[in-house]
Amino acid sequence: MSIQTRSGMQRGTITKYRPFTPIELPDRQWPSKMITTAPTWCSVDLRDGNQALPIPMSVDEKLEMFDLLVGVGFKEIEVGFPSASQTEYEFMRRLIEEDHIPDDVTIQVLVQSREELISRTFESLRGAKKAIVHLYNSTSEQQRRIVFGLDKPAIVDIAVRGVRQIKDLVASVPETAITLQYSPESFSLTEIDFALEICEAVVDVWQPTPAQKIILNLPTTVEVSTPNIHADQIEWFCRHMRNRETAIISLHTHNDRGTGVASTEMGLLAGAERVEGTLFGNGERTGNVDIVTLALNMYTQGVDPCLNFSDLPAIQEIYEKCTRLSVPMRQPYAGELVFTAFSGSHQDAINKGMNALEKSHSPLWDVPYLPIDPKDIGRSYEAIIRINSQSGKGGVAYLMESEFGLQMPKAMHIEFGKVIKHLADVRGSEILSSELYQAFEQEYLQRTAPFKLTSFEGRTILNKAGSEALECIATVNINDVPHEIRGQGNGPIDAFVRALNQHGLANFTLKSYSEHALGNDASTQAVAYIQLQTPAGAFFGAALDTNIEIASIKAVLSALNRSTQPIKFN
Ligand SMILES: CC(=O)SCCNC(=O)CCNC(=O)[C@H](O)C(C)(C)COP(=O)(O)OP(=O)(O)OC[C@H]1O[C@@H](n2cnc3c(N)ncnc32)[C@H](O)[C@@H]1OP(=O)(O)O
Ligand SMILES: CC(C)C(=O)C(=O)O
């Protein structure tokens, strides 16, 4: 039983909407195809993107955007709808008169199939070396019925009249090589045989050849079906079209169902050769297909997209400035958070993957959770791992090493990881890397009570057995009371450990020791990590000093101090 409520969603049997009717294509070929080469890209940022902005771009902003698109490598750029407004017309004129258009770039202009608009469009083209004139009219049953109140032959007539006019006007711009592009707007909702009929009527008037093709742009004006149905529409069209070799089949996908990228990729499998879209998916409603995502999806499959996104943050900055939009944090490839792992198991795997890659020297990118090397697109490794209460020891260790050069021994990751987990839980927010270091300082480096080293001297002696040993003489303050201690061992740490135990000042054994240099200039310091086994348990200590011997002695006391006091950090 279906219950129709006055507002909100229908429940049960949905009568308000109906499923899209699939087209018949039982022997479809596209599912077993692969994308192996880049399509011809056409940016529609300055037209479809611009027409969807609350505040359209000014002429200067459009010029800046145009230069950006040229820099990225677009060879076809829809620069606007010159008959729509004075701003659009002026922009066209400035592009041409100020010589902004490189020889290998073709500008494209959109126009409805209306006589006065087509005439004005041709006026705007004067002086251009080459241009794609993009003619459109809407063809779906819904648009025919609601917008135009016309039957199919009348809709075909709108298109054909427009093409005839363009054909006549070509002679008015003899210096401009004109390519015709025709879009049966709302193709995605148009009966497929009617879409073919109107396109073939256009082709019959224009008379393209394999050398001078027409562009037939089949737009998903509104995305109304799953991407596989879109692919069937494109394959059906490609297979049924007369003289297919005289046309370039182009896609223009919107993202109403959130599957614009998938629809475009499947449309390419189905036989399309050209893609129109925008940077970061700007465009009407949910946007046009995002060309950055499409191109980088190809790249990460080993296909050269022939567009350069090596400095994506700089591209994003200009885009955001010109459009006054912002790229969402989760936007594929570009979003601020897309190369960041907060969760422990992801951090651990990334950390291991990065280390393994460094050791292997393999040219193949092979890091879990990162489908692309952030550095390929101008992102850094710095933001890959960020710490909050979902994070684990692996991520903390990664940051301590990548940000501060501290290579804590693996067993210490657990201990310091707990310190940071506690801090993140108490705080309930992100722990910045500077705070991570601060916690390390407080927990290890600044632990100087109750034991504090005031002096240490080591010298080589001959022991009773006649072999060389090290004797240490040190002063250790315990709760500010100085104690002079002496001990012998096979090295300074051993001698110091024995001295403390022999004098009854402490009771522990050395479990592990490691050290490394920090920095590589005159101010190089050494860092030592010591783990002690005390009656209260096993504890790490760490210390920094320009003298490695002193660093290790201080690290012993750091561990000892920690064993006498619970976690200090809060
Ligand atoms: C899917 C897309 O994104 S298509 C691109 C859409 N982009 C834009 O519209 C941005 C620029 N557009 C504009 O500035 C204006 O709409 C203009 C200048 C093109 C036209 O302006 P106006 O004529 O003042 O208004 P408007 O757009 O409302 O015109 C609607 C008329 O055009 C007709 N029309 C709409 N599309 C087409 C078409 N492709 N071919 C022929 N006629 C069309 C409508 O049926 C309607 O006719 P009616 O007045 O007889 O009912
Ligand atoms: C003019 C056409 C290509 C269009 O913008 C659309 O259908 O979205």
Can you tell me which residue has the tokens 């009929």? 197
Would 382 be classed as within a structural domain? yes
- Cα angle 435, 438, 440 (rounded to 5 degrees) comes to 115
The tokens describing 141, both together, are: 């049953």
Contact 451, 560 (CB under 8 A): yes
Instruction: Give the Cα separation of 492 and 474 in Å (integer).
Output: 11
The tokens describing 230, both together, are: 């879109």
* Nearest CA residue ID for atom 5, ligand 2: 48
Residue 64 shares a structural domain with residue 161: yes
Which ligand places an atom closest to the C-alpha of 56? 1
Residue 418 shares a structural domain with residue 542: no
Instruction: Give the Cα separation of 436 and 456 in Å (integer).
Output: 30
- Residues contacting ligand 1 via CB (< 6 Å): 48, 51, 81, 84-85, 112-114, 136-138, 147-148, 158, 185, 221, 284
- Ligand 2, residues 132, 136, 142: which to mutate, most atoms within 8 A of Cβ? 136
Query: Residue 534, Cα to own-chain centre: how many angstroms?
Result: 49
Residue 181 shares a structural domain with residue 260: yes
- Of the candidates 423, 424, 381, 421, the one whose C-alpha atom is nearest the C-alpha of residue 403 is 381
The tokens describing 276, both together, are: 């129109």
Would 281 be classed as within a structural domain? yes
Rounded to 5 degrees, φ, ψ at 227 are: -60, -30
Would 142 be classed as within a structural domain? yes
Axis crossing angle, helix 433-440 with helix 393-404, rounded to the nearest 10: 90
Pick the last residue of a domain from 254, 288, 305.
305
User: Which secondary-structure segment (H or E) carries 470?
Assistant: strand 468-478
From the CA of 422, how far away is ligand 2's center (Å)?
54
User: DSSP strand E in 303-430: where?
Assistant: none
Rounded to 5 degrees, φ, ψ at 16 are: -80, -25
The tokens describing 78, both together, are: 């829809």
Contact 352, 366 (CB under 8 A): no
**Looking at this protein, which amino acid is placed at residue 90?**
E
Kind of pairing between the strands at 130-138 and 106-112: parallel
Would 321 be classed as within a structural domain? no
Pick the last residue of a domain from 396, 425, 445.
445
Contact 105, 339 (CB under 8 A): no
Kind of pairing between the strands at 274-277 and 76-80: unpaired
Q: How far is CA 152 from CA 143, 194, 203, 265, 536, in A?
A: 11, 8, 17, 31, 88
Question: Is 219's C-beta closer than 6 angstroms to any atom of ligand 2?
Answer: yes
Low-confidence residues of the chain: pLDDT under 50 = 1, 568-570
Q: At a CB cut-off of 8 Å and minimum separation 6, what does 165 contact? A: 115, 118, 119
Residue 438 shares a structural domain with residue 463: no
DSSP states of 116-175? HHHHHHHHHTTT-SEEEEEEEEE-SHHHIIIII---HHHHHHHHHHHHHHHHHHGGG-TT
Residue 440 shares a structural domain with residue 504: no
Question: Residue 3: what pLDDT?
Answer: 52
Task: Identify the CATH number of the domain in which residue 121 sits.
Answer: 3.20.20.70
Task: Specify the ligand 1 atom closest to the Cα of 114.
Answer: 41
The tokens describing 74, both together, are: 């677009």
Question: Residue 505: what pLDDT?
Answer: 87
In what order do the strands lie in the sheet containing 451-462? 451-462, 468-478, 481-489
Q: How far is CA 564 from CA 135, 408, 446, 478, 482, in A?
A: 81, 22, 14, 12, 18
Query: What is the reported pTM?
Result: 0.86
Binding residue per annotation — 254? yes
Residue 289 shares a structural domain with residue 393: no
Residue 436 shares a structural domain with residue 487: no
Instruction: Give the Cα separation of 543 and 443 in Å (integer).
Output: 11
Question: Residue 254: what pLDDT?
Answer: 98
How many CB atoms are located within 10 Å of the residue 403 CB? 14
What's the distance, Cα to Cα, between the start and end of the chain in Å?
Answer: 59
Would 34 be classed as within a structural domain? no
Would 33 be classed as within a structural domain? no
DSSP code at position 319 = H
From the CA of 193, how far away is ligand 2's center (Å)?
19
Instruction: Give the Cα separation of 251 and 238 in Å (integer).
Output: 12
Question: Residue 350: what pLDDT?
Answer: 92
Tell me the three state secondary structure of residue 206.
helix
Kind of pairing between the strands at 177-185 and 451-462: unpaired
Residue 157 shares a structural domain with residue 255: yes
Question: Is 221's C-beta closer than 6 angstroms to any atom of ligand 2?
Answer: yes
Question: Residue 204: what pLDDT?
Answer: 98
DSSP states of 487-538? EEESSHHHHHHHHHHHTTS---EEEEEEEEEE-SSTT-EEEEEEEEEETTEE
Tell me the three state secondary structure of residue 27.
coil
From the CA of 85, how far away is ligand 1's center (Å)?
12
Instruction: Write out the residue range of the structural domain in which residue 556 sits.
Output: 451-564
Question: Is 183's C-beta closer than 6 angstroms to any atom of ligand 2?
Answer: yes
Tell me the three state secondary structure of residue 252.
strand
Task: Specify the ligand 2 atom closest to the Cα of 217.
Answer: 3
Tell me the three state secondary structure of residue 215.
strand
Would 90 be classed as within a structural domain? yes
The tokens describing 405, both together, are: 């050069």
Binding residue per annotation — 217? no
Residue 432 shares a structural domain with residue 527: no
Residue 220 shares a structural domain with residue 89: yes
Residue 541 shares a structural domain with residue 515: yes
Question: Residue 566: what pLDDT?
Answer: 58
From the CA of 140, how far away is ligand 2's center (Å)?
13
Binding residue per annotation — 240? no
**Looking at this protein, which amino acid is placed at residue 140?**
S
Alpha helix stretches (DSSP H) within 6-51: 50-51
Instruction: Give the Cα separation of 346 and 343 in Å (integer).
Output: 6
Would 518 be classed as within a structural domain? yes
Contact 84, 121 (CB under 8 A): no
Tell me the three state secondary structure of residue 337.
coil
Instruction: Give the Cα separation of 392 and 420 in Å (integer).
Output: 9
| 164: Cα within 13 Å, side-chain hemisphere | 8
pLDDT tens for 454-472 read 999 999 998 888 889 999 9
Say how many domains are in the chain: 3
Query: Residue 31, Cα to own-chain centre: how many angstroms?
Result: 27
State ipTM.
0.94
* Nearest CA residue ID for atom 2, ligand 2: 185
Contact 50, 62 (CB under 8 A): yes
Residue 407 shares a structural domain with residue 535: no
Pick the last residue of a domain from 400, 428, 445.
445
**Cis bond before residue 450 (omega within 30° of 0):** yes
